[in-house]
């Protein structure tokens, strides 16, 4: 699912962006996953039905968006790491005034949620019905997928589970 989300569009309100970078988290066998030690109050959404948003708060300041990817009862999700802004760029600039360039509006998991106005209140929402929607683009542009190790973790670092659009200037750094 981490690969198949690339190129799709995330829409929230009047803002939207093309997914250019994802990371897969495999569940209870993946020590970097929130689900590694089993279900908790915080991560229960990951064990629910696929196609739902798992939004969590990190570092006391950022919300991060994941999409549940496994059948109900099995943990696994995909972190949305970066977007290419599509619609509502003026609104994104208001929400992310420190971003100097369009490329900097949503080129990280905390940046993209702030740019799109996604918060903890969206945890558990169905991304096929809203208010956050993941949909196919109107026109599919061909792209090549790059693969690397995940970024910013200390456990299970050797797994090549980060996927991105090769050559995209909107991928996180």
Given pLDDT bands bounded at 50, 70 and 90, which one contains residue 58? Answer: confident
Q: Which residues pair with 79 in a beta bridge?
A: 23, 66
Does residue 173 carry a pLDDT above 90? no
Q: Which domains does the chain have, with CATH numbers?
A: 2-137+144-165 (3.10.300.10)
Query: Residue 128 has what pLDDT?
Result: 96
Given pLDDT bands bounded at 50, 70 and 90, which one contains residue 47? Answer: very high
Residue 152, by phi and psi: left (phi above 0), alpha (psi -120 to 50) or beta?
left
104 Cβ partners below 8 Å, 6+ apart? 96, 111
CB contact at 8 A, 55 and 65: yes
70-127 pLDDT per residue, tens: 999 999 999 999 999 999 999 999 999 999 999 999 999 999 999 999 999 999 999 9
């Amino acid at each position: 699912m981490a690969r198949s989300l690339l190129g799709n569009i995330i829409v929230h309100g009047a803002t939207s962006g093309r997914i250019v970078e994802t990371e897969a988290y495999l569940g209870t066998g993946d020590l970097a996953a929130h689900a590694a030690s089993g279900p908790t109050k915080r991560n229960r959404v990951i064990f629910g039905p696929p196609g739902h948003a798992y939004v969590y708060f990190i570092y006391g300041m950022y919300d991060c968006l994941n999409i549940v990817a496994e059948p109900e009862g099995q943990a696994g999700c995909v972190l949305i790491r970066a977007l290419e802004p599509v619609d509502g760029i003026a609104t994104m600039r208001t929400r992310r005034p420190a971003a100097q360039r369009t490329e900097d509006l949503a080129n990280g998991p905390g940046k993209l949620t702030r740019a799109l106005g996604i918060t903890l209140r969206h945890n558990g929402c169905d991304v096929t019905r809203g208010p956050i929607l993941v949909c196919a683009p109107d026109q599919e542009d061909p792209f090549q997928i790059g693969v690397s190790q995940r970024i910013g973790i200390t456990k299970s670092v050797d797994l090549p589970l980060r996927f991105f659009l090769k050559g995209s200037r909107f991928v996180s750094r």
